[in-house]
Amino acid sequence: MTSQIFDTLIRAARVVDGSGGPSFAADIGIVDGVIAAIAPGLSRKGARQVIDADGLVAAPGFIDSHSHDDVYLLAEPDGAAKVRQGITTVVIGNCGFSMAPILPETQLQAMESLAIIGARSLPGKPHRGWRFAEYLERLEAARPALNVVPLVGHGTLRIAAMGIENRPAGEGEKRQMAHLLEEALEAGAFGLSSGLVYVPGAFADTAELCALARVAAAWGGLYTTHMRSEADLVMEAIRETLTIGEHAGLPVHISHLKVMGRANWGRSRETLGCLQQAREAGLRVTCDVYPYTAGSTSLAAALPPALQSEGPEVFAERLKDRSLRAEIRRTIETQTAGDWENLIYVDTFEGMVLVKAPRHPEYCGRSIAAIAEAENRDPFDVFFDLLVEEKMDAVVVEFMMHEDDVIRILQSPFAMVATDGLPGFGSDLFHPRFTGAFPRVLGRYVRDMESLRLEEAVWKMTGLPAETFGLARRGRLQPGCAADIVLFDPMTVADRGTYEKPNVSPLGIHCVWVNGRLALPADGLSTERWGKVLRRPQE
Ligand code: ZN
Ligand code: CU
């Protein structure tokens, strides 16, 4: 037997290979960024680096199937918050928000609407706009530590074609969106994402989405969606998603599947049942989930979208008007299950905790209700004043789920793990899913609560997303696969970030390799970065 010489040899690991199958003991040999061998007793002769993994699990590097790292990886290409979780690949462009294409005529509106994913922290603004290929080149030039799987956001496409207008797209505008989408798919995008509770995604009808999904289908892409409702109308929203999948003939993926609001707790049985049925009927349907009972989004998402057709900053000015406030308040108080996602009805002011309000740091960490009580004001006034003063750029964490639903969704055979993290950009308050989602699943839901088997959880973090997004030779520990690997201690792995103090590194993640190179050595973050911007179709 000729003994191969490895660049890196990981010795005596418990291999959880990402297939969902039982773990086994073996060594892993890496050559030129690729897994060359997995077997017991591999030769260490000549290896430049030998890592003893006794007592540790080796798994494929985790794939964050739903991230908002579009700006984060340009601003902070070391991706520390992700690498420290064992994540080696992130899917970006989610919930209708992608940083491209941006056209010069609507650049301002695009950048305002992308504030939620950190557009204001973008190094080097796209003054003359940029097409999708150019954005991917910028990302590549930043040399991110993680692999990136880009999606095109429907909201971004719509702004490029018609600005922020509350009306159906005209034929010419639909053609323009389809053309820009096609250009992005040609540049390597993996599919189309939508955010149907946000402006301007909420203004699109099903036919518009079907037409665009058909374009994605022609390029072998998928359709991912933050659905029109995750509360009272969640079943209607699921039916719309399935309709799009059927009509366009492409796989659909539901982002952060959940049921929000006390009145809907327990309905994950119903939603999962419906999705399971659709799968049995032959539709390719998957979803992602973050392992927390709170979500996070912009405070402005709690406003009825219909009124906001001039973009956030203009609307913030208009919100000073008392009669407009009264009208919105009436809509919020009377419309429990209307044609928009009523977050104040779902979360309540008690459940909405401010995490980003640049002009009001003293409010951060407190609920709208608590602020109102302390200042003896009406919570609606606090809400409207904040939107005006922050020019709509405020973010909340919203407590609105039941853990039983979170667990039921996590356990579903077509659900994968995601962070859905909104980067903090140096702030010390944000939803802790950004720094802890993956270790939290392994610690809390695998080890402590035994809701999932370890092999199953790892598959939901690796093999399943790789298959869903069509990532060739990733998401598995197999000879021939890219050497994206995480080494962790199943006995200690845990998230440590809390809602009060989210910016804390997880425990138990020992080493992380991206394309065969150490991104996280045992003694801290590497200064070199080895991620690739992935493009579809892949060889
Ligand atoms: Zn979303
Ligand atoms: Cu999202």
Among the bound ligands, the one closest to the CA of 260: 1
Q: Is domain 1-60+475-490+506-524 in CATH 3.40.50.300, yes or no?
A: no
Rounded percentage of the chain residues whose pLDDT exceeds 90: 93
| Rounded Cα distance, 357 and 361, in Å | 6
Q: Please report which ligand is nearest the Cα atom of 70.
A: 2
Quote the CA–CA distance of 483 and 6 in Å, as a whole number. Answer: 12
**Dist. CA 202–CA 91, nearest whole Å:** 22
Ligand nearest to the CA of 94: 2
- Taking only the tens place, the pLDDT of each residue in 48-106 is 999 999 999 999 999 999 999 999 999 999 999 999 999 999 999 999 999 999 999 99
Instruction: Pick the ligand that lies closest to the CA of residue 65.
Output: 2
Minimum mean pLDDT range among 2-6, 434-438, 471-475: 2-6
Report residue 331 as tokens.
Answer: 């809509």
Q: 294-298 and 395-399 as β-strands: parallel, antiparallel, unpaired?
A: antiparallel
Q: What angle do CA 259, 260, 264 make, to 5 degrees?
A: 70
CA distance from start to end of the chain: 31
- With tokens 């990532």, the residue in question is 471
Ligand nearest the Cα of residue 66 is 2
**Looking at residues 355-374, what average pLDDT do you find?**
96
Mean of all residue pLDDT scores within the chain:
96
Between the CA of 311 and the centroid of ligand 2 the distance, in Å, is: 20
Q: Residue 2: what pLDDT?
A: 57
Contacts of 510 (CB under 8 A, 6+ apart): 53, 56, 487, 488, 489, 522
Which pTM was predicted?
Answer: 0.97
For the chain, the domains span 1-60+475-490+506-524, 62-293+401-472, 298-399
pLDDT at 538 over 90: no
How far does the centroid of ligand 1 lie from the alpha carbon of residue 195, in Å?
A: 6
pLDDT beyond 90 at 361? yes
The pLDDT, as a whole number, for residue 125 is 86
> What per-residue confidence (pLDDT) applies to 539?
43
Distance 96 CA to ligand 2 centre (A): 8
Reported as a pLDDT band with limits 50, 70 and 90, residue 335 is confident
193 CA from centroid of ligand 1 (Å):
10
CA 106 / ligand 1 centre spacing (Å):
23
Q: What is the pLDDT of residue 523?
A: 84
User: pLDDT class for 337, splitting at 50, 70, 90?
Assistant: low
- Residue count (the chain): 539
- The token duo for 534 is 């992935």
Q: What average pLDDT does this structure show over 329-352?
A: 88
pLDDT score of 308 more than 90: no
Examine domains 1-60+475-490+506-524 and 62-293+401-472 and report if their fold is the same: no
Q: Give the C-alpha separation, 53 to 338, whole Å.
A: 55
pLDDT band at 46 (very low <50, low <70, confident <90, very high): very high
- pLDDT the model gives residue 223: 98
- Quick one: pLDDT band at residue 426, thresholds 50, 70, 90? confident
CATH number corresponding to 62-293+401-472: 3.20.20.140
**pLDDT per residue over 111-135, tens digit each?**
999 999 999 999 988 888 999 999 9
Q: What percent of the chain has a predicted confidence (pLDDT) above 70? A: 99
| Residue 224 Cα to ligand 1 middle (Å) | 10
Question: What torsion, rounded to 10 degrees, do the Cα atoms 122, 114, 243, 405 define?
Answer: 90
